[in-house]
């Protein structure tokens, strides 16, 4: 079982801060930070809450740290279908449905797919026709679909551009959510096999475009998208804090026309 000192050290290193920098931000001595991180001192409940807030630790990490210190959890963790989250869940559905016919998805911190709009389902079916054979209601994980031999990455025309950038973002996610590490490592292996080890860190796009565009080879021709992510602004529940809405926008008129023609 992970200990409080280990959790706090990991959260600090995820921010790439030294003990001195953290102590200055919190207004406590570097010696006290060192003592807590080594297990020689235990922070009060209020200090621990402030500590984790300063580190911008995910709420699930904050709750874990509270339990490790022997305190009650500070945040709720209701499932998305809980009546308490009904209003938030309806807001998510409205958000992605309003984005139709362009693809939109709701995913959690582990990249499990929770909702998809009509455009999102259409695009997934176009990129991965085999997925239609999955039993109804089967859990879907976006990272699993990314690293599948016939998944999203298989269809990416410009994997050499977007792959390394995606890997960097996923490694940041894994630093906060270690459960993602095996899947992120699998994606790194896929990139190494597809691009070669020398090209793993050469993913900067040649153009000075303000957003990174992903291009897919499909039966409808090449489709190009860029994405925007939406999150809840002030979540006080672990489930809501973990959710992200990906809005995919067409990066060219050809893509826009294909989707408007294909998605009812």
* 7-50 pLDDT, tens digit each: 999 999 989 999 999 999 999 999 999 999 999 999 999 999 99
Reduced to 3 states (helix: H, G, I; strand: E, B; else coil), residue 257 is helix
Same domain membership, residue 113 and residue 37: no
CA distance 98 to 261: 17
Same domain membership, residue 152 and residue 42: no
Domain extent, residue 63, equals 4-68
Question: Closest by alpha carbon to 163, among 141, 184, 139?
Answer: 184
Place of tokens 């809840």: 232
27 located within any domain:
yes
74 located within any domain:
no
Q: Average the pLDDT over 208-219 and give the result.
A: 86
The pLDDT score that the predictor gives to residue 199 is 64
The pLDDT score that the predictor gives to residue 201 is 61
Domain boundary among 20, 39, 68: 68
The pLDDT score that the predictor gives to residue 205 is 47
Same domain membership, residue 87 and residue 64: no
- Which pLDDT band, with edges at 50, 70 and 90, does 177 fall under? confident
Q: What is the CATH number of the domain that holds 205?
A: 3.30.450
* 84-123 pLDDT, tens digit each: 999 999 999 999 999 999 999 999 999 999 999 999 999 9
Number of domains in the chain: 2
Same domain membership, residue 226 and residue 117: yes
DSSP structural state of residue 158: T
76 located within any domain:
no
Same domain membership, residue 169 and residue 87: yes
Residues 261, 101: contact at Cβ < 8 Å? no
Q: What is the CATH number of the domain that holds 50?
A: 1.10.260.40
Structure tokens at 21: 């920098």
73 located within any domain:
no
Sequence-separated (6 or more) residues with CB below 8 Å from residue 184: 143, 167, 170, 171, 173, 174
Same domain membership, residue 138 and residue 19: no
Same domain membership, residue 216 and residue 97: yes
Chain centre to alpha carbon of residue 247:
13
247 located within any domain:
yes
């Amino acid at each position: 079982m992970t200990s409080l000192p280990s959790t706090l050290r990991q959260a600090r290193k995820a921010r790439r801060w030294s003990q001195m920098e953290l102590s200055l931000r919190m207004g406590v001595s570097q010696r006290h930070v060192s003592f807590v991180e080594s297990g020689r001192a235990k922070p009060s409940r209020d200090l621990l809450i402030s500590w984790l807030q300063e580190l911008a630790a995910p709420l699930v990490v904050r709750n874990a740290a509270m339990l490790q210190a022997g305190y009650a959890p500070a945040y709720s963790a209701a499932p998305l279908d809980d009546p308490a989250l009904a209003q938030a869940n309806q807001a998510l559905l409205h958000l992605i449905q309003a984005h139709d016919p362009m693809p939109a998805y709701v995913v959690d911190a582990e990249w499990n797919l929770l909702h998809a709009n009509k455009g999102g389902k259409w695009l997934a079916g176009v990129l991965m026709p085999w997925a239609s054979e999955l039993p109804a209601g089967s859990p879907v994980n976006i990272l699993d679909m990314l690293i599948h031999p016939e998944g999203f990455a298989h269809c990416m025309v410009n994997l050499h551009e977007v792959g390394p950038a995606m890997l960097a973002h996923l490694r940041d996610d894994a630093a906060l959510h270690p459960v993602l590490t095996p899947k992120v490592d699998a994606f790194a292996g896929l990139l190494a096999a597809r691009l070669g080890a020398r090209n793993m860190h050469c993913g900067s796009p040649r153009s000075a475009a303000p957003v990174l565009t992903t291009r897919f080879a499909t039966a409808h021709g090449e489709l190009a998208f860029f994405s925007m992510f939406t999150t809840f602004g002030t979540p006080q529940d672990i489930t809501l804090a973990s959710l992200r809405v990906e809005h995919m926008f067409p990066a060219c008129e050809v893509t826009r026309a294909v989707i408007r023609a294909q998605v009812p």
